[in-house]
A and B are shown apart, each in its own frame.
Chain A
Amino acid sequence: MEPCLAPALAETAKFEKLCGILDRYDRHPARLVPILQALQEEYRYLPQEVLSYVATSLRIPEANVFGVATFYAHFALEPKGKYVVRLCDGTACHVKQSIPILEALRARLDLTEAKATTPDMLFTVETVACLGACGLAPVLVINEDVYGQMTPERAVDLIDAIRAKELQ
């Protein structure tokens, strides 16, 4: 395939998926939350033009779609890193010193609360209210994998290991 065609076809395929997702939920405005969830799974975040498109096809104002997308913590309007590192800061984790882990991770990756994703788009570090795995506090989740009884040192080791793997 021609090199120039590939991105256009990829966009087309994505667009088709977008239509598929909308159809799966009957293009019903009440299904906005699951639609956005499915789209985020597909795109890993919610691009603005996709949200516009959703608004048009559900026949609701763009401002409403934007309002819903910004209300729920799970929706991201900016792309996230390949590895989303979520540190639990629920009560149990907090009293078992989760914050020093967060500080260690941010220091290692040169991130802040405002700047949550590394420039190479490899890592996003964020906190989450409670993962409900309090028995393992403090808990760290990288994408879908849960790591319990975390320490700042182990957390940094995990990151380093992923980075080393990615560099290969």
Chain B
Amino acid sequence: MTMDQQFVTVEGRAIPIEGERNLLEIIRKAGIELPTFCYHSELSVYGACRLCLVEVAGRGVQGACSTPPEPGLDIKVNTPQLREIRKIAVELLLANHDLSCPSCFKSVDCKLMDVARRVGVTSVRFKPVQEKAPLDFSSPSIIRDPNKCVLCGDCVRMCSEIQGIGAIGFAHRGHQTAVLPAFGKGLGEGECVGCGQCANVCPTGALVPRSEMDEVLTALADPTKTVVAQVAPAVRVGLGECFASPAGDPVMGRMVAALKRLGFDAVYDTTFAADLTVIEEGQEFLTRAAAGEKLPQFTSCCPGWVQFAEQSFPELLPNLSSCRSPQQMFGSLVKEMLPEKQGIARKDLIVVSIMPCTAKKFEARRPEFAVDGSPDVDFVLTTQELARMIDGAGLRFGSLEPESLDMPFGFGTGAGVIFGASGGVTEAVLRFAAEKITGKPLASVDFAEVRGESGLREATLEVGGKTLRLAIVHGLANARAVAEQVVAGTSEYDLIEVMACPGGCIGGAGQPVPKDLADRKRRTKDLYQCDKTFPLHKAQDNMFVTECYDKFLGDVGGHKAHALLHTHYQSRRRVSDETLVLLSGDPAQTKVRVRVCLGTSCHLRGAQDILTGMLKHIVENGLENAVDVRASFCFEQCAKGPTVEMDGEVMTRCTLESVLSALDAHLRNPLPQPTKPSAGCGCGCGK
């Protein structure tokens, strides 16, 4: 300690100031766990829960979270006045809370319950004032129960500050204040990508992952069904937290044992599919790099990111790897191979994923991941749900004898397993690509350059004389920043890995609710430890994967591989919301859909006259029911305006004449409505 060390006095003890941002951090460093709802070290200071109030000598009562440390401050944290205010604040919340605690999903880790106990609430002196609001079941990933919301805003700030989305926000005022998606609609109807980080920071049961436990239990109880599980890499470093296992304790074997006891017929490892992903995606990258096309390549294994890109950056969709995520590769492959192998019908094979992720629930329901309506992955359970099922079955997790995964889909390499941490996909692809480029085995499989905690990391690697520029991103706000660079043409990256959740999948919202940031670090460390203990570390060394290509898939990147392992994307810009309906007849009779850009630039170029002329033409020729006309905001073709979109085809430098003749052509030759993504593989394999 140096002479000029500065101190703050907390309850009579001098505590050094060591770069803390606020008094709360100092007080916690002093070993006093002041309760808070609305303080999160990764989010901006909000100051609303009023639980961290402290008395500062000479200044009175202040919020510790919002007061910067100054040398000489003398702080009391537990005076009778402060204790009473904290108690009142919690009682006030309880008076406006749905107290159906025993049946609440958050009952085991509810912060409100914990804080109520700690501040000594034994009864609520105030009247119940809650007006019940309906629950929101619209999202496949998250259930929103406004009756349990304490309005701490953690979810709102998580969604906007870390995820850069803002799918939910505060609405109304005063006692009517609520956290709502835009216009009070459902979460599933707006910009939410289902990452579930809101639920991860929610102190109560107001936002919880949507459970599929009942559906899985029903399938398990059905003797006609063969139920198999795939377990994602990150689950093995999270599940133990639910059973108070010590850090680094390998729980995989006991998890397999538990799943078998629950009735699963086979337990496989998503790591196997991750290895496949490495090979397909690595090959794709090498092909693109060689051709200099569609670069930078974005990873596509994170469903939150994929949906975000579809909604916010449709222009970048060609840059996304066309590879399905490991979960979906697993599903399509297993549903293709197992029924034949085991002589069962596809409909009787149920694939259940155990995932650290809530967005995977949405991903599994995407129509493109189903064959004639039968999904490749039937159900997705989060790590938390699995823990509950184990509990619910009365299994003593700690005393289970470990069992082995089933083969062949239960075998994965260290490359696949590190998918669960931010930087892992990049590293796994490098372990593949480097050998491909150099043609020589790697001396060391560790690429420390791409590991780390920061939400936006860059690495430049020299591989076989080639320079690879990499970016590793987690948190969608960071992804947005990088994507904007790519759109603007200022990015020089070759490969960009994006994970929606902080830290990657280990920080997914399906994981046990982290107590603090240290949990995330510990999970990452454990995952790299798994890599170390695995016998193999490179996806291309996975002999079961090789066998799979040899006997079933054919060439890497070949047609069958494409059909089963790749996908296509579509713009999900919410078109209907961005337009104003000007003329809309009977939808059943509509043949042509026209959108006229009335953005500033198009307007200046005469879009208004075109619109008026066209409307006139439509009415004069009695075409009101055949044409749907909308005014739109901007097609981002401003330099080439006026712009008109007709049945999805964008026409630039329009004149009234060109629009009318195009309209007539379309009316003579209408597309099937509504427009669907173009048929074919769409992945670029040419099939």
Contacts and interface: CB of A to CB of B under 8 A. Distances in A.
A25 B402 CA distance: 66
B166 A63 contact: yes
Given A4-B624, A19-B600, A56-B633, A64 B583 contact: no
Interface in A60-75: 60-67, 70-71, 73
Contact of A57 (B608, B612, B633): B633
Interface string B139-183: 000000000000000000000100001111111110000001111
Which one of A5, A49, A60, A66 has the greatest number of beta carbons of chain B within 10 Å? A66
A52 B577 contact: yes
A134 interface: no
Contact of A61 (B167, B577, B578, B629): B167
B190 A62 contact: yes
A78 to B, nearest CB: 12
Contact of A12 (B180, B181, B600, B631): B631
Given A4-B619, A62-B182, A11 B191 contact: no
A93 interface: no
Interface in B538-587: 577-583
Contacts of A5: 615-616, 619
**Interface of B: prevailing SS:** mixed
B516 interface: no
B598 interface: yes
Most chain B beta-carbon contacts within 10 A, residue among A15, A52, A53, A64:
A15
B4 interface: no
A16 interface: yes
Contacts of B191: 61-63
A66 B180 contact: yes
A69 to B, nearest CB: 8
A74 to B, nearest CB: 12
A63 B168 contact: yes
A70 B631 contact: no
Interface in B229-274: none
Contacts of B165: 61
B601 to A, nearest CB: 11
A63 B603 contact: no
B182 A15 contact: no
Nearest to A72: B173
Contacts of A55: 182
Contacts of A8: 582-583, 615, 619, 629
B619 A71 contact: no
Contact of A16 (B578, B581, B598, B619): B598
Contacts of A4: 619, 624
Nearest to A10: B582
A51 interface: yes
A67 B578 contact: no
Contacts of A64: 166, 169
Interface in A23-79: 23, 48-53, 55-57, 60-67, 70-71, 73
Nearest to B620: A2
Nearest to B599: A19
A66 B620 CA distance: 39
A2 B191 CA distance: 40
A9 interface: yes
B611 interface: yes
Contacts of A53: 578, 580, 633
Contact of B183 (A23, A57, A62): A62
Contacts of B181: 63
A138 B327 CA distance: 68
B182 A61 contact: yes
Given A8-B583, A61-B166, A66 B183 contact: yes
A57 B600 CA distance: 11
Nearest to A49: B580
Interface in B611-656: 611-612, 615-616, 619-620, 624, 629, 631, 633-634
Contacts of A52: 182, 577-578
A70 B612 CA distance: 35
Given A62-B191, A65-B182, A15 B631 contact: yes
Contacts of B634: 57
Given A12-B582, A49-B580, A70 B173 contact: yes
A40 B406 CA distance: 64
Contact of B169 (A15, A50, A67): A67
Nearest to A11: B582
Q: Which residue of B169, B579, B581 has the most chain A CB atoms within 10 A of its CB atom? A: B169
B633 A71 contact: no
B277 to A, nearest CB: 32
Contact of A70 (B172, B190, B580, B599): B172
Given A66-B183, A70-B172, 7 more contacts: A9-B612, A12-B582, A12-B598, A14-B580, A61-B165, A67-B170, A71-B170
Nearest 7 A/B pairs, CB to CB: A61-B166, A62-B182, A63-B169, A67-B169, A63-B182, A52-B577, A5-B619
Interface of B: 160, 165-173, 180-184, 190-191, 577-583, 598-600, 603, 608, 611-612, 615-616, 619-620, 624, 629, 631, 633-634
5 contacts: A48-B183, A57-B633, A61-B191, A63-B166, A66-B180
Interface of A: 2, 4-5, 8-9, 11-12, 14-16, 18-19, 23, 48-53, 55-57, 60-67, 70-71, 73
